Amino acid sequence: MSIEYLKKAQLTPKSDASETKKIVRSILDDIEAGGDAAALEYAAKFDKYDGEVLLSPEAIEAAVALVPEKLKADIRFAHTNVKKFAEAQKATLKDIEVEVVPGLIAGQKSIPVHAAGCYVPGGRYSHIASAIMTVTTAKVAGCKHIVACSPPRPGVGIAPAIIYAAHICGADKIMAMGGVQGVAAMTFGLFGLPKANILVGPGNQFVAEAKRMLFGRVGIDMIAGPTDSLVLADGKADPMIVATDLVGQAEHGYNSPVWLVTDDRSLAEEVMRLVPLLIDDLPEVNRDNATAAWRDYAEVILCADREEMAATSDAYAPEHLTVQAEDLDWWLDRLSCYGSLFLGEETTVAFGDKASGTNHVLPTSGAATYTGGLSVHKYMKIVTWQRATKEGSRPVAEATARISRLEGMEGHARTADIRLRKYFPGENFDLSAEE
């Protein structure tokens, strides 16, 4: 049986890429040429903000005082969980060495990058959790300098809860600047900051495009598109929970796809009945996004069995993947393409987004076929080294000389020849290139 679309997306999540590229390229060029002054001009234009760019200790302290104690406790709880998981991830990175051939030792070493730039969205929603996710992982990785950058609100500045989260998670500097100008400031080392070695964190299409353009001169976590989520559900799933989870992710943005893949027609039909009702019950600011996302980008797919469901999910490679079906271990073993996996109705994407410990900066737009999400590992350079005794270098030098000559790289070959002559004088070596 081929899959059946009970609901098919009318659109695909693509921005006006050409116009976005043109705008971002112009801003980046202006700021690189004009430095601090140009960045401030764009901040005044787009952020409508002329306050302190790098927050002073006094400004941080004042913002912290505005955060309710209960919210502080929740932020600390989330930070503890993210830190604990990040520390466990880091423990999987081991420095190693191995004797490749007698006398030749090769090794691997993990070195954190020096400076990390963490972008924290603060437009429609104040992404407190993004500060926790990005700053905490950079701190655990061992980055020596961490900047948290978030767009200020006109006349107000950065949301106090974002400032508190960035501060307790270990940001060395907190910068009140949004969009392309914020990304540029971190990359170019403006306002006395060290130049970022890596840029991480979600953002709108302009932030994503700026990161894409700057990739190469700096590292990035990933090139991100609109957030997306897929639910795998069988006939035993609770349709109200499935529908609620879909709506919860659809509110991210008007072009945020949500997908339901099931082998049970009655479940699919009930979820399709419930979703519009749940969307109508949202506050207006959330309702508009969810309405558009469900209308234009959502899909409901009916499959013959769980194997076809799993294959369909892997083909979509969703950012967030929820399984509400029996035999969770089977799904864990079978599924292979996702950013983060949520097994059983007892957990949900929002848990991972906010407080459970796994990171919410994840691959979108099918990128989960080749990469995972943000982790301690993204901030680490895995480098190699080697050393050898004279005897250990002998077989490697012989092979290197011959391979190099076959490739036509005589200079390479001679770096091996000279060592053989020095270490083993009087010996004859066959170092010619033979087809």
Residue 214 confidence (pLDDT): 97
Which of the following is catalytic: 145, 209, 252, 319? 319
Cβ neighbours around 297 below 10 Å, total: 22
Report the alpha-carbon distance of residue 242 to residue 344 in Å, rounded: 11
Residue 18 confidence (pLDDT): 81
Confidence class for position 125, pLDDT limits 50, 70, 90: low
Report the alpha-carbon distance of residue 247 to residue 378 in Å, rounded: 31
Q: Where do the structural domains in the chain lie, given as residue ranges?
A: 17-221+377-381, 226-372, 389-435
Longest dimension (CA), the chain: 88
Give me 127's structure tokens. 């992404």
| 320 is an active site residue | yes
Residue 396: pLDDT over 60? yes
Report the alpha-carbon distance of residue 249 to residue 362 in Å, rounded: 14
Task: Measure the N-to-C terminal CA separation of the chain; round to a whole number of Å.
Answer: 54
Confidence class for position 12, pLDDT limits 50, 70, 90: confident
How do strand 320-324 and strand 299-302 relate by DSSP bridges? Answer: unpaired
Residue 285 confidence (pLDDT): 86
Residue 16: pLDDT over 60? no
Which of the following is catalytic: 127, 145, 320, 360? 320
Backbone angles phi, psi at 79, to 5 degrees: -60, -45
- DSSP element (H, E) containing 105: strand 104-112
17-221+377-381 against 226-372: fold identical: yes
Condensed to tens digits (0 to 9), the pLDDT of residues 291-339 reads 999 999 999 999 999 999 999 999 999 999 999 999 999 999 999 999 9
DSSP state, residue 153: B
Q: For residues 374-399, give the mean pLDDT.
A: 96
Residue 149: pLDDT over 90? yes
Confidence class for position 404, pLDDT limits 50, 70, 90: very high
Residue 225 confidence (pLDDT): 87
CATH 3.40.50.920: does it fit domain 17-221+377-381? no
Instruction: Give the burial string for 254-272 (b: 16+ CB within 10 Å, else e).
Output: bbbbbbbbbbbeebbebbb
Q: For residues 116-143, give the mean pLDDT.
A: 93
| 97 is an active site residue | no
CATH 3.40.50.1980: does it fit domain 226-372? yes
Q: For residues 272-285, give the mean pLDDT.
A: 96
Confidence class for position 156, pLDDT limits 50, 70, 90: confident
> Using CB atoms within 10 A of its CB, is residue 273 exposed (0-12), middle (13-18) or buried (19+)?
exposed
Residue 163 confidence (pLDDT): 97
Residue 435 confidence (pLDDT): 58
Confidence class for position 124, pLDDT limits 50, 70, 90: low
Strands (E), 144-298: 145-150, 173-176, 198-200, 219-220, 229-233, 258-262
Residue 79 confidence (pLDDT): 98
Residue 1 confidence (pLDDT): 56
Return the percentage of the chain with pLDDT > 90, whole number. Answer: 91
Cβ neighbours around 401 below 10 Å, total: 24
